[in-house]
Every structure is written in structure tokens, then in C-alpha cells.
């Protein structure tokens, strides 16, 4: 299974239990601690429906230092991408669900540098804030949204601060995904 962008990876576990499902809360917790809590909450049943998931990531805002100094063609290209949806497809198998790989998958090295300031998943809603320390600076990210075993909608925003040439960057996006049927075994399923 090929990995989707980081924000989508963080959202995949949110395609979980409906309004009557388990509650997961954590404060000042590592990503592995939250992963363990989600896995424990899932011990009684399936939190994500297996199959082919199709979704889109839409960038609403992106700011970085010296954007005004970019060539006009580069600024126009960036502006044209705002509001345009980038589709993604993923196949979640029964085996991945049983092994809990359908939840909080991603790059372990990146996750070691991140902590959830707070994480709440209950009643079909998610609310979380995460802080990460990276070699180039610090990142703060928030996610809120709704979920069910067959679909989710997430709004995410992040701010990254660091030394030059990175400086301070910010972005906001939304992610929508739904289960559309069985996995097809085709190359487009990442």
C-alpha cells in the first residue's frame, strides 16, 4: 500500500466508529499512545470499513516567506492550485484492519517528533491539536471533522516556524473521503 500525504494519513484513522462507537481522549500524548488508545477502543469490533476509499484533498490557503518575490508565473501556478481538489485512492484490506495498520499509519520517524496536545474522537466527531519538532523548526497542526465507518470530512490547519530560509509557513486544507466498494487490485489504489 503506497502512502498518501501526511495529513491524509492522519485522517485515515478517523474513518472510524459512528456516533454510538467508542470514545478516545488523550492530552499531551505521543502518537503511539494515541494509536494504542484507538486500537484498544477498536478491540470490540471494526472501526473502519475495508475496501476502496476515494477522496480529495483541497488546499484553501498557503503562505510562505517571500511569496511576493516569486516570478509571476510561479505565483499564478500556486494560486491556480488553491481550491482545486487533489484526488487520492486507497485500498484498506481486512488484514490491515486486523493488524491495526488501517489506523495511524505513516512514517515512524516523523511521528516520534510529534505529540498530541489534545485528541478527542467520539460521537462521530474529531478534534485534535498536534505539535512536532523537526530539524528545520516546529509545526503546530489542528484537525476537526466528522467520521463514520464509510466516510469522513476533515478540516486541517498547520503553521510551521523555523530558521531561514524556511521561515514561517501556514496552510489550511480539507479532506473528504468515502468507501466506494471493494478493493479492485489496481495500481491506482495506494
Q: Can you say whether the dihedral through the CA atoms of 16, 22, 25, 30 is positive or negative?
A: negative
- Per-residue pLDDT of the chain in tens (190 residues, 90 and over written 9): 333 334 444 444 443 434 456 788 999 999 888 888 877 776 654 567 889 999 999 988 888 777 777 788 877 777 777 777 899 998 888 877 776 644 443 444 456 789 999 999 888 888 999 999 888 789 999 999 998 889 989 999 999 888 666 678 888 999 999 999 999 888 777 6
Q: How many CB atoms lie within 10 A of CB 84?
A: 10
Q: pTM of the predicted model, to two decimals?
A: 0.74
Measured CA to CA, the distance from residue 32 to residue 111 in angstroms comes to: 8
Mention every residue, 6+ apart, whose C-beta is less than 8 A from residue 74: none
- Per the omega criterion (within 30 degrees of 0), is the bond before 165 cis? yes
Amino acid at each position: 500500500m503506497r502512502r498518501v500525504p501526511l495529513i491524509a494519513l492522519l485522517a485515515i484513522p478517523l474513518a472510524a466508529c459512528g456516533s454510538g462507537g467508542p470514545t478516545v481522549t488523550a492530552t499531551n500524548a505521543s502518537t503511539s499512545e494515541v494509536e494504542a488508545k484507538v486500537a484498544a477502543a477498536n478491540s470490540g469490533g471494526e472501526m473502519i470499513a475495508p475496501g476502496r476509499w476515494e477522496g480529495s484533498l483541497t488546499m484553501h490557503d498557503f503562505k510562505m516567506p517571500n511569496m511576493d518575490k516569486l516570478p509571476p508565473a510561479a505565483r499564478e501556478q500556486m494560486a491556480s492550485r488553491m481550491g482545486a481538489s487533489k484526488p487520492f485512492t486507497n485500498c484498506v484490506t481486512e488484514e490491515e484492519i486486523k493488524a491495526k495498520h488501517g489506523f495511524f499509519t505513516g512514517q515512524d520517524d516523523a511521528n516520534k517528533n510529534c505529540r498530541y496536545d489534545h485528541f478527542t474522537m467520539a460521537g462521530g466527531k474529531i478534534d485534535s491539536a498536534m505539535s512536532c519538532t523537526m530539524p528545520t523548526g516546529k509545526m503546530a497542526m489542528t484537525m476537526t471533522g466528522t467520521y463514520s465507518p464509510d466516510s469522513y470530512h476533515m478540516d486541517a490547519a498547520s503553521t510551521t516556524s523555523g530558521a531561514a530560509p524556511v521561515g514561517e509557513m501556514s496552510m489550511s486544507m480539507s479532506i473528504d473521503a468515502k468507501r466506494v466498494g471493494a478493493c479492485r487490485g489496481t495500481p491506482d489504489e495506494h
